[in-house]
Amino acid sequence: MFVGCSLVNDSDTIPAEETNELSYRLRYTDVSASLQAAKEAYACSPKNSDGQAEALNNIAYVSYQQMRYDQALHLLRKVYGFSRNQLELLCSDVLTMKIMQRIGRGKPFFDSRLRAQKRLRRILSEENALTPHQRRRLHYALTELHIVSSTYYYYLGQDAAARREIDEAARYVDLATDTTQWLYYHYMLGSGGLVAGTPDEVTLTEFDHLFRVYTLARARQFTYFEANALQSLSFMVSDSVKADLLKRQRLDAYSYLWEQHRRWQSDSLLSARFQFAAAMSHRSVALFRQYHDLFQTACALRTLGEVYFAARHYEEALQSFTSALHLASDHRRSPYHVTPWLAAIHENLSLTYSALGNKHLADTHRNTYLDMLDQSRQDRELDSRKALLAQEAHSEQIQFILLLFLVIVVIVLAVIYYRQLDSRSRSSEQKVRGIASGEDCMLALQRLQAQHQESRERLEERLEECELMQQRVSAQQRRHLLQRTKLSVVYAIIPYLDRVMHEVRSLGEKDSDTTAHLSYIQELCAGMMTINDRLTEWIQMQQGRLSLHVTRFPLADVLHVISMQQYAFSRKQLTLDVAETDLQVKADKPLTLFMVNTLVDNARKFTPEGGRVSVRLQATDDYVEVSVCDTGIGLSPEDAKTLCDSKVYDPNRLGASSVGKGFGFGIMNCKGIIGSYRKLSSFFNVCDFGVESEVGKGSRFWFRLPRVLSLLLFLFLASGPCMAAAPDGCYALFDSTLTANLQGRYADAYRFSSQAIDMMSEPRDTLLLVKLYNEQAIAAQALGEWDAYRRSNAECVRLHRLRSTDSSLLSDCQRLEKMTEDSRVLYVLIVLLLIASLALFYMVVLRHRLRHRASLDDLYQRLMSLLRSFPENAAALDAELRSIVATLEQPQLRQPLEELQQMLSSQATKLQETESSEQEAEERLQRYRFEHDRLYVMNQILDNSLSTIKHETMYFPSRIKQMADDMLRAGIDGETLHNLLDLVAYYRHIYMLLCEQAQRQTDQSSLRMQPVAVRDLFAYASQVHHVECQPTDALIRGDEMLLQFFLDQLLAVVPPDAVLSAERRDSMTYIICDVRGQALDACRADALFSPHTDRLEYLVMRQIVREHDAACGHPGLRLVAENTDAGYRIAFSLLPNT
Amino acid sequence: MEKFKVIIVEDDKLELKGTQQILQTEVPEAEIIGTASGESDFWRLMREGQPDLVLLDLGLGGSTTVGVDICRQLRSRYADMKILVFTGEILNERLWVEVLSAGADGIILKTGNLLQRDDVMMVMHGRHLVFNEPFLEKVMARFRENVCKEQAAVDAFVEYEIDEYDERFLRHLALGYTKDMIAGLRQMPFSTKSLEKRQVDLTNRLFSERERSGVNAVRLVVRAIQLHIIDPENLVADEQ
């Protein structure tokens, strides 16, 4: 009925009908005329009539031919919009299919095809009512439908389906009724791929089809088909095998064609056969141009290019391909492109450039080609996904059939579910109750215990480290005490010096007893010399034991600490600029830090606001030069020289202005450190120190340390070749191929890829295989192996298609179509009803039950996740558990949860405690390290200072003594007296200076006064020195470590049978060491604790007592040695702890 | 002057010889009735005969400051005895204070001109606080420093235009008062808001333009202490 109405003839439509027919007939003859006719038909048809629909179809076809696909689709949408004429709608469907086939959209293609087939069924049921014009339209639509489908399947690689469709088309093709479709059909058969048989048979059959098309099209001026036939024939002839076969078997036709194109054969450089092929191609191009078909012109140009390429005339080939691309790039701006077609042109260009040796452009075009292949693959994948959706829709349809059944099932299930919910709620509750005894809880507890154990082990390790470090700190403290002791000996010279000074001055006075004065000076000098000798002895004695702690370390460690001073610099409006580095040096790390720090501190002191201090590095193979540069006030040349050259300088006299004074002893210390490196070993000969400075401009202080190469670099160099060697497996071979191609080793690349392809006997990884074939193709292309290239590329493209082919697209589209059946309404209604009743059920009954259960589940989940994440969150555990208990909605669960909380919390608390002790131990370790480094640096510098004092002042006492001797012998005159006075004054000055420098490096507040049980000290003594101790419960105030050191010293100088005891006398506690059977001689006893003593230990003891005395506020602590009835005793007093 | 008896306490034989020489040549009135190198020697001598003057070294043998204790005991037993400390402790200022508190009449440092006749005679004439030149130089340096500090405080008040409210405000800030609490003080007739303004104003006065950014109350108070505007030794809150 529907169709009948729309097929009614209208007398007004007759002229339009004829114009439309004309347009159709001119379609393959003259595009412009065809368009003109269609437009006329449109104009003369009534609005929205069938004639207009047909005219629009014709106009759309012209648009299609001119590659304006968007416009064509727009026109077709218009037809769909107004027309009810099923025949014209069928034609529109078929044209849509044609467009979709060309732009490679599978889904819309099949949609249109399904629509067309449905319409066709309706039209065929009323075929008898059709007018002759309508009948012709129907035939056109039918042949076109099958030919387009065939073409679609052919390009998809489904040859069987393609042949089936073309055979179907044969049923409707009739030369008498429609020449156009007849030509189209035969051209399709001739253009390749649709004929079965041996290669020779295929060639001959195709040639026959093409020749028929050519002759007829030429005779009836179907330009389109003439050009198409020529193009295909040209391609055929350019193949030497096919050409020979044709010459043998179809000589007449071949000769005919040859004669036809004789006048085109002008290119004498080509062989005759290629001239012939080129001539046909040229003709084809010319015809298409004349016919205004962009797409086909570009195709013909491509064929021409391929002919030239086959003839190895690459320049001409390039020209043809470029023209083709040029045409195509005009078209690219349109939203729909014919991607595969463009891709083919790019491939041709890539090959041609490769043949011409332009590797770069060849690669560029190959990449574009591959991108386009990938693009079309992606498009297809998109289609597949849509198809997948369609499949889902289909399964929904099956559900519909089961819907009623489902409704019943749902109701039954709802009841069952409701009942089960109750029992599940109960079991959930049970589960929550069971957590405490459950496996997870046990596991959590175990993990917690394990962690606790680990933490405790770490804590023990830390504590051991702490102990070790503490011992090292103690060693440094003891060493420091020794240094202070030595320094006190150094100071002991000063009163002598002052006496000498006084005596020399007295010499000048009138009535003085010169002989007495001079001999006293001599005695004093002798005294000083004894002290000096003693000092030298001690310093030398310890030199062997104390050396620098040289390690290899990255300078960045030291510079990082320096750069942390930014704030102090910015407060003075200075910029501190510390270089970044990965250099490594071999040196003493704390001392290096001390040196850089000293120089940076000095620079800060002497740089005015707004200045810049920078730490820079410069490395040679042997050393790294660290320099500290500033934009400060600078030094005069004399000062710089003094700093560089002399061992001793007076810091108060250096510097250009008053600000510059007070330079400190830093530079002296730095130089001392460099000196001790050089003394240590010849490895450190590169060590050096220097100053460059200019008044008003700034200074640069630098020092050099031996450089070591980074360990990492060695590792890298060693591992480099290993990584490159012996590729293994397909992936490695692929990598090698890629690398070889990149490096231009194409022969290797071809070999590697062939090996890899052989290895992949089971193509599990299609993508890898595609990539391998691609690389092989690139290699072959670069090598100019065209056959190899074609094989590889064809395989590459085939696999590429294989990856994306979706053969089920058609059936999916059909199923999707069925979904639109009317029954959908019913389906929706039933579903709505079901949903409504379920919603009611949910609202009234289920919701509360579910909420109850959800809260139980949630509780369970929270507890479980807490238990699982527990060890990480040990700290937050207590709070979390408490909050769970507090917000509990089920009062019956409160008790078991509280028990759980207590159990876990107690364990967590234990862990926390250990962890915090661990943290504490770590911090203590850090403090010890810091303390150690600080003391170490001071000791090291004191070593240097003491040795400088020794070296620089040794000579003076003997010199003074000699002068005094001379004076005694030869008498005194004004000049010698003056000289002597100068000498003594100078000696004192230098001496005081050096003492001050050393004094700055002593740690005055190093004593840790605390209550100490004498019993503990005695226990230490008896344990370490196996000495007898009287029991005591005295408690004194002191530094335990130093007191132990005191006992070490004491027990080193007394015989092993000495007895220790403690005694309270005159508000002090005395610790007494009794020695039996020996007495001290009076002379020795007097000098026992003086610098003239024979053992350093006595002086160390004195130093310890002295420092305790100072720490207690000088109560006059005693250290005495006196003879007793049975022998002698050494006693020292300390303040009792009150 | 009449002759007087002296005991020299000195543990170093060489030094003792020099001291004896000085006394013999410079102070012929002094009769050395004994020398002691240690504590026990000294008390034995004291039992034998009482001197008029004890020339006391502070460090004897291993006991480095035993002289302080000796001095204290001497003073408690013999209130009139003259005690002159003759010591090589040229750096330990704390010890000087201790021994003066213990009752010494003077301190002569073993440097420069050492012991001179005038010093001994002054002590014998009953003068207290007798010091030789090196000692006085050190005392003078300390004294000068203190005076300068005080002057600096006065200068700061003038230079930075500090009034009594500024001082009070800064002092209470230093004591940890909040601005609200300061505004509640009887002597501070200001609201919290105007105190805030005052703080900004003070910051502008005490800091140069470049230093001003990020100055908080703590930094301001520290600055005031550095400039001696408030005295950290003497921080007392006003009555509420």
Backbone angles phi, psi at A940, to 5 degrees: -60, -45
Residues of chain A in contact with residue B40, where contact means CB-CB under 8 angstroms, are 1120, 1122
Residues B60 and B172 in one domain: no
Residue B34, domain member (yes or no):
yes
The residue of chain B with its CA nearest to that of A528 is B14
| Least confident segment among A478-492, A658-672, A832-846 | A658-672
CA atoms of A320 and A231, how far apart (whole Å): 14
**pLDDT at res. A315:** 84
Residue B40, domain member (yes or no):
yes
The residues of chain A that CATH labels 3.30.565.10 are: 583-709, 1010-1134
CA atoms of A1081 and A1087, how far apart (whole Å): 10
CA atoms of A274 and A269, how far apart (whole Å): 10
Residue A330 has pLDDT above 70, yes or no: no
- Annotation: CATH topology of A465-525+929-1000: Four Helix Bundle (Hemerythrin (Met), subunit A) (1.20.120)
Is CATH 1.25.40 what the domain over A211-337 is classified as, yes or no?
yes
Residues B103 and B16 in one domain: yes
Q: For residue A312, give every residue at least 6 positions away whose Cβ sits within 8 Å of its Cβ, in sequence order, or none.
A: A355
**pLDDT at res. A728:** 46
**pLDDT at res. A18:** 83
More confident residue, A275 or A393: A275
Among B106, B140, B174, the domain-final residue is B140
Report the CATH number that the domain containing residue B75 is assigned in CATH: 3.40.50.2300
Strands B106-109 and B82-87: parallel
A948-959 average pLDDT score: 86
Contact A499 B113 (CB under 8 A): no
Residues of chain B in contact with residue A573, where contact means CB-CB under 8 angstroms, are 210
pLDDT tens by residue, A997-1038: 888 888 766 788 999 999 999 999 999 999 999 999 999 999
Residue A476 has pLDDT above 50, yes or no: yes
Residue A164 has pLDDT above 60, yes or no: yes
Q: For the CA atoms of chain A, what is the radius of gyration?
A: 54
- Give the one of A512, A1090, A1115 whose C-beta lies nearest to B12's C-beta: A1090
pTM equals 0.56
CA atoms of B92 and A685, how far apart (whole Å): 43
- Give the one of B14, B63, B95 whose C-beta lies nearest to A523's C-beta: B14
The residue of chain A with its CA nearest to that of B88 is A495
Residues B136 and B198 in one domain: no
Residues B123 and B199 in one domain: no
Share of chain A above pLDDT 70, in %: 87
Residues B66 and B185 in one domain: no
Most confident of A41-55, A163-177, B197-211: B197-211
pLDDT tens by residue, A41-56: 888 888 878 888 888 8
Confidence tier at A662 by pLDDT (50, 70, 90): low
CA atoms of A518 and A522, how far apart (whole Å): 6
Q: For the CA atoms of chain B, what is the radius of gyration?
A: 27
Share of chain B above pLDDT 70, in %: 100
For residues A428 and A862, is the Cβ–Cβ distance under 8 A? no
B45-64 average pLDDT score: 92
**pLDDT at res. A714:** 38
Contact B69 A495 (CB under 8 A): no
Residue B240, domain member (yes or no):
no
Residue A563 has pLDDT above 60, yes or no: yes
Among B111, B140, B169, the domain-final residue is B140
Residues B49 and B96 in one domain: yes
Residue B38, domain member (yes or no):
yes
Give the residue among A1037, A1127, A1034 at the shortest CA–CA distance from A1080: A1127
- Give the one of B12, B90, B113 whose C-beta lies nearest to A502's C-beta: B113
**CB neighbour class for A125 (10 Å; exposed up to 12, middle 13-18, buried from 19):** exposed
A548–chain B nearest CA distance, Å: 32
Strands B106-109 and B130-131: parallel
Complex prediction ipTM = 0.87
Give the range of the structural domain holding residue B129, as residue numbers without chain letter.
4-140
**pLDDT at res. A377:** 62
| Least confident segment among A289-298, A320-329, A723-732, A909-918 | A723-732
What the block records as the tokens of A224 is 């389109």
Contact B61 A496 (CB under 8 A): no
The residues of chain A that CATH labels 1.25.40 are: 211-337
Residues B62 and B121 in one domain: yes
Among B73, B106, B140, the domain-final residue is B140
Q: Residue A627 belongs to what H/E stretch?
A: strand A623-630
Residues B40 and B125 in one domain: yes
What the block records as the tokens of A373 is 């292949």
Residue B150, domain member (yes or no):
no
- Give the one of B21, B66, B210 whose C-beta lies nearest to A516's C-beta: B21
CA atoms of A88 and A78, how far apart (whole Å): 12
Q: Which class is A583-709 in CATH?
A: alpha beta
Q: First and final CA of chain B: distance in angstroms?
A: 64
Instruction: Please count the structural domains in chain B.
Output: 2
A163-171 average pLDDT score: 83
Q: State the DSSP string of A1023-1047.
A: HHH--EE-----EEEE-HHHHHHHH
Whether chain B has a CB inside 8 Å of the CB on A530: the answer is no
B74–chain A nearest CA distance, Å: 14
Name the CATH superfamily for A1010-1134. Histidine kinase-like ATPase, C-terminal domain (3.30.565.10)
CA atoms of A703 and A686, how far apart (whole Å): 10
Residues B108 and B173 in one domain: no
Angle at A167 between CA A162 and CA A172, to 5 degrees: 125
Strands B30-36 and B4-9: parallel
Backbone angles phi, psi at A578, to 5 degrees: -110, 130
b (16+ CB within 10 A) / e for A55-71: bbbbbbbbbbbbbbbeb
Confidence tier at A295 by pLDDT (50, 70, 90): confident
Residue B57 has pLDDT above 50, yes or no: yes
A16-32 average pLDDT score: 82
Whether chain B has a CB inside 8 Å of the CB on A523: the answer is yes
CA atoms of A43 and A637, how far apart (whole Å): 106
Q: Provide the chain A residues 572-611 that lie in CB contact (below 8 A) with chain B.
A: 573
More confident residue, A194 or A1127: A1127
Contact A1116 B65 (CB under 8 A): yes
A498–chain B nearest CA distance, Å: 5
Residues B40 and B109 in one domain: yes
Residue B135, domain member (yes or no):
yes
A513–chain B nearest CA distance, Å: 9
Strands B53-56 and B4-9: parallel
**pLDDT at res. A1004:** 65
